[in-house]
């Protein structure tokens, strides 16, 4: 799964990198510990334009009775996108890219009570393009104001990440962006070709402080590498 990530690149730089033509006036502050149920940047196509929009992290299906459903929808498994009612329509019509400067995974080591967090990023420092889905909820009566939300698609980990965790976000290569974002593309077999683990050589990772476990910690220091003692504890 992907439960925390980093979003620190300024919106104007994200827009240039992803070829965005329209940007929301809402500005999200840099956050080195983005947690579920907060607002996140998404690149999506709406009204024929590629937009950078802040949306709620935790997809709320159009049929949901209340917003709490989104708390269980922060990730969508690639294996069941076309089957689950929460994601099926979005997979067909509402796909997005979720920009990230990196993400965290926790390694459960035998014999240690505390999981060791790792920060994972691109080797070239460029943003990761997480494959995502988005939806618009208008209340249980479907007549309320629009509430946009999104989820991150996950799949099996590549060889490098599998050393610490068995799953990872799907990272889309640039050549897939146009097709993935195009709401007119409904060929699920074609879209499924993009749902593969990112190459191991694309990413690098290192252990970081367990301070990232607390969502109140959001500073840049969270991605600093730490040494891990043989007993699994961070040196004092």
Residue 228 within a domain: no
Residue 161 within a domain: yes
For the segment 78-107, the average pLDDT, to the nearest whole number, is 96
How confident is residue 110, by pLDDT bands cut at 50, 70 and 90? Answer: confident
Asked if residue 59 lies in contact with residue 73, where contact means CB atoms within 8 angstroms, the answer is yes
Which residue did the predictor score with more confidence, 153 or 236? 153
Residue 165 within a domain: yes
Residue 178 within a domain: yes
User: Mean pLDDT across the chain, nearest whole number?
Assistant: 94
Q: What is the pLDDT of residue 235?
A: 42
- Kindly name the residue from 53, 105, 121, 135 that is annotated as catalytic: 105
Q: What is the pLDDT of residue 233?
A: 55
Q: Who contacts 68 (Cβ-Cβ below 8 Å, separation ≥6)?
A: none
pLDDT for 152-196, tens place per residue? 999 999 999 999 999 999 999 999 999 999 999 999 999 999 999
Asked if residue 92 lies in contact with residue 182, where contact means CB atoms within 8 angstroms, the answer is no
- Kindly name the residue from 2, 53, 96, 135 that is annotated as catalytic: 2
Residue 232 within a domain: no
The separation between the first and the last C-alpha atoms of the chain, rounded to the nearest angstrom, is 30
Q: Nearest to residue 225, comparing CAs of 235, 20, 31?
A: 235
How confident is residue 74, by pLDDT bands cut at 50, 70 and 90? Answer: very high
Residue 229 within a domain: no
Catalytic (active site) residue 105: yes
Residue 231 within a domain: no
**Backbone φ and ψ of 7, nearest 5°:** -135, 95
Vertex 63: Cα angle to 170 and 76 (nearest 5) = 15
Residue 68 within a domain: yes
Domain range spanning residue 80?
5-223
Length in residues, the chain: 236
Spatial distance between the Cα atoms of 200 and 158, rounded to a whole number of angstroms: 6
Asked if residue 78 lies in contact with residue 195, where contact means CB atoms within 8 angstroms, the answer is yes
Spatial distance between the Cα atoms of 94 and 115, rounded to a whole number of angstroms: 35
Q: What is the pLDDT of residue 73?
A: 97
Residue 39's CATH number: 3.90.1680.10
pTM score: 0.95
Alpha carbon 209 to chain centroid, angstroms: 21
Catalytic (active site) residue 79: no
Number of domains the chain contains: 1
pLDDT for 13-40, tens place per residue? 999 999 999 999 998 999 999 999 999 9
Backbone region of residue 102 per phi and psi (left: phi > 0; alpha: psi in -120 to 50; beta: other values) = left
How confident is residue 234, by pLDDT bands cut at 50, 70 and 90? Answer: low
């Amino acid at each position: 799964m992907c439960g925390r990530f980093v979003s620190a690149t300024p919106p104007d730089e994200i827009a240039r990198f992803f070829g965005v033509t329209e940007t929301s006036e809402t500005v999200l502050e840099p956050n080195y510990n983005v947690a579920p149920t907060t607002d996140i940047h998404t690149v999506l196509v709406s009204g024929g334009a590629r937009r950078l929009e802040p949306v709620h992290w935790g997809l709320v299906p159009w049929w949901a009775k209340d917003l709490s459903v989104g708390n269980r929808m922060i990730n969508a498994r690639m294996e069941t996108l076309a089957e689950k009612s929460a994601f099926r329509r979005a997979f067909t019509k509402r796909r997005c890219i979720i920009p990230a400067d990196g993400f965290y995974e926790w390694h459960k080591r035998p014999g240690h009570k505390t999981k060791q967090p790792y920060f994972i990023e691109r080797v070239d420092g460029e943003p990761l393009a997480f494959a995502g889905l988005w939806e618009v909820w208008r209340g249980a009566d479907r007549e309320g104001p629009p509430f946009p939300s999104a989820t991150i698609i996950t799949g099996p980990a590549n060889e490098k990440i599998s050393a610490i965790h068995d799953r990872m976000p799907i990272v889309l290569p640039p050549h897939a962006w146009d097709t993935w974002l195009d709401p007119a593309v409904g060929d699920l077999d074609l879209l499924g070709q993009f749902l593969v683990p990112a190459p191991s050589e694309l990413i690098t990772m290192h252990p970081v402080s367990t301070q990232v476990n607390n969502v109140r910690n959001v500073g840049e220091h969270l991605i600093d590498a730490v040494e891990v003692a043989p007993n699994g504890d961070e040196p004092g």
